[in-house]
Structure 1
Amino acid sequence: MAVAYSAISSYSRVEIMHLIQQRPRRPIAELVAATGLHANTVREHLQRLIEAGYVVAETERRTTRGRPRVLYTAATGESSSFVAAQRAKDAARRGDLLRRVYPSDAGEALPDDALHQLDALVEDLTEAGFDPLVDESALTLDLTPCPHAPSSGHRGTLCRVHVGLMDGVLAQAGGPLKVDGIAASCDPAQCVVHLSVG
């Protein structure tokens, strides 16, 4: 399976996202110094991440003279992205429609806000090139085979960024679910994400 062209299909964007997840409110100059990329390239990558709803830009409040910098932060429940919030609402609407058309015979169902979080997460993962298989009762998402496994030289960073992005999507959608972690596996293509009710 080829990795879909998404906001995180470029390792440079994954690297920038990782830096922003580690410490919020980063200016362009810091990201340029950390990645070694040209400032215009970093700006293009950031714009792509903003358009995907993963990053929020804010203008620095200055008390001294000079042009204020633009600071970049990962979109989470605290740093809200209008794009991510709208995508979550749209995913919830589509999910509700599908559940009305194809009712589930599952026993104890998740509350609506948790289902809406799953709707947003599944859509986001699908756009990133994954083919998620959700088990609502076990609260797991099987992302096997991982389309990013061929890039396993950076597997640790990729997995940390993906977990951060998934947590961000869940927080933006609003509800009780959080990412608990990824099940350890010897096979880099194996990826099962565990969720928990916060």
Structure 2
Amino acid sequence: MARTSYSAISSYSRVEILHLLQVSPGRTIQDLCEHTGLHANTVREHLQRLADGGYIVTEREHRTTRGRPRVFYSAATGADDASSPIARRKAMDAARRGDLLRRVLPPTDASALEDDAVHQLDALVEDLEAAGFDPIVDERELTVDLSPCAHADMDPAQRGILCSVHVGLMQSVLAEARGPLQVDGLAPSCDPTTCVVHLAR
């Protein structure tokens, strides 16, 4: 299967916006325009795509005076104050499908993972597959192999931001699925086509 970037961040402009929201939550459209150089309508369109994917959340300003309240945008992290209903629903649906699949498939060498951790992996794998990746999960070693990286030929500065955004998205998916696993980081490699994500309890 050909590997592509997350469909919601298939443009580098959306990658840049999501990176800004991951690093510094609670940004306005005007703030994002100033940091990216994009027109407000373009930023709004990108934010809508990210919201539809469950990757960002919004909070409306509470005003006590007249005037339109500002809207603040943040990356969805799965925390109580930054949980996306769309991402939560996707995680629950993935767990349900995973449970159905495990009922009909013959048992394999079961890992020592508990149900909520298995459900986290269900959500993570579905999210990565929907984005065009073909993840290979090792439940015993707690790794997710995404090699070869489709972005290995990008400018190193842009690739670094993209990797950071992908790690943040994976952590968010695991958090929304509510279990013990979290992203521990990327395995170091001198080969830019190699991408192995380490998980930890």
1:25 is paired with a residue whose SS is coil
Q: 1:91-139 deviations in whole A, cap 9, x for unaligned?
A: 0011111111224332443111111110111111112221100000000
2:138 alignment partner in structure 1: 135
Scaled by the length of structure 1, the TM-score of the pair is 0.94
1:151 is paired with a residue whose SS is coil
1:169 alignment partner in structure 2: 173
Aligned-partner Cα distance in 2 for 1:89–1:60: 30
1:178 alignment partner in structure 2: 182
Query: Which residue type is aligned with residue 180 of structure 1?
Result: D
Query: Which residue type is aligned with residue 12 of structure 1?
Result: S
1:72 alignment partner in structure 2: 73
1:62 alignment partner in structure 2: 63
1:7 is paired with a residue whose SS is helix
Q: Does structure 1 conserve the Cα–Cα contact (< 8 Å) formed by 2:111 and 2:139?
A: no
> Is residue 98 of structure 2 the alignment partner of residue 99 of structure 1?
no
Shift of 1:4: 5.9
Aligned residue pair count = 197
Q: Does structure 2 conserve the Cα–Cα contact (< 8 Å) formed by 1:117 and 1:174?
A: yes
**RMSD of equivalent CA atoms:** 1.4
1:10 alignment partner in structure 2: 11
Show structure 2 runs of 5+ residues with no match.
none
Show structure 1 runs of 5+ residues with no match.
none
Identity %: 66
> Is residue 153 of structure 2 the alignment partner of residue 146 of structure 1?
no
